[in-house]
Amino acid sequence: MELLEEYIRFRENKEFKEVIDSLSLKNYSTEFIRSYLEDSSQISKKECNKFKAVLQEEQIDLLYLEFLSKYHGKEDLFGIVIDRDCDSHPIKQMERVVKKCKEKN
């Protein structure tokens, strides 16, 4: 639920630029990040791998966030898929998730 709310907030507030700006604190310029997104083949494999390690460390899926920031289809819909195995996720917990989803429309 928290991840879904984060993505929706990201889309509504156009936070993509802020993500890029925060990454430049890790010694990567906005220009480098934009180059990576536009055509990573123009960057050395070593630099690409180092940058991917930073993204992984920061737990940021930059390509997905870029997609979210650009794609706004008429049929856009966010949702939650729950894969419930036997004896996992008690019924009460599932009821709370359903209630919270209904509250948030």
Per-residue pLDDT averaged across 55-59, rounded? 86
Dihedral of the alpha carbons of 102, 81, 52, 73, in degrees to the nearest 10: -60
pTM score over 0.85: no
User: One-letter amino acid identity for 47?
Assistant: E
pLDDT digit string (tens) for 4-48?
777 777 777 777 777 777 776 678 888 888 888 889 899 999 999
Domain locations in the chain? 2-103
Contact in structure between 69 and 7 (CB atoms under 8 Å): no
